[in-house]
Amino acid sequence: MHRKCDRKERFFSLNHLTGLVQCLINQNVLIDLQNETSVAGTITDVDGYMNISMKTVVYIDQLGQQFPMDNFMILPKYIRYVHIPKEISVKPAFEEHIKRMTQSSVNKVPKKVSLKTKRAQENQLRTLAENQML
């Protein structure tokens, strides 16, 4: 489910509150926007820059009128407040998120050795064997 992210996104996810919002994926939340409107729905994706994608959304304008929508995208500069559901315990959820993000880098598969590198290593071994250093 996690998509590949660059170093900057990864840094923001681990060191800013972006990671906290990423813990709310697949949760129903209410987000207050800068223009005094609100959006309620299920978060489907949050990238490292805190761009939020939502589904089954109800947009609530300044007058309280509600407009149902299938999908909604929120840029971070428009977010005023994210209401965290009461059933989410913040500290364990954030610790689990950090653990997942750091484990993904530890379990990387080593790259395949190129032909050039392989030849260089063979030449080094031959040189060591010739000089009786091996």
> Does any domain span residue 128?
yes
Domain of residue 12: give its range: 7-133
Q: Is the pLDDT of residue 105 over 70?
A: no
Cα–Cα dist 78/7, whole Å: 24
Distances (CA, A) of 129 to 115, 118, 123, 124, 132: 21, 17, 10, 9, 5
> Does any domain span residue 1?
no
pLDDT tens readout for residues 28-87? 999 999 999 999 999 999 998 999 999 999 999 999 999 999 999 999 999 999 999 999
Q: What is the mean pLDDT of the chain?
A: 88
> Does any domain span residue 54?
yes
- Stated pTM of the model: 0.71
> Does any domain span residue 51?
yes
Nearest CA among 37, 67, 70 for reference residue 54:
70
Q: Is the pLDDT of residue 1 over 50?
A: no
Record the tokens describing residue 65, joined without a space: 């009128």
> Does any domain span residue 34?
yes
> Does any domain span residue 116?
yes
Instruction: Provide the number of structural domains found in the chain.
Output: 1
What is residue 17's predicted lDDT score, i.e. its pLDDT? 86
3-class DSSP string for 3-52: CCCCHHHHHHHHHCCHHHHHCCCCCEEEEEECCCCEEEEEEEEECCCCCE
> Does any domain span residue 94?
yes
Output the domain CATH number for residue 43. Answer: 2.30.30.100
> Does any domain span residue 124?
yes
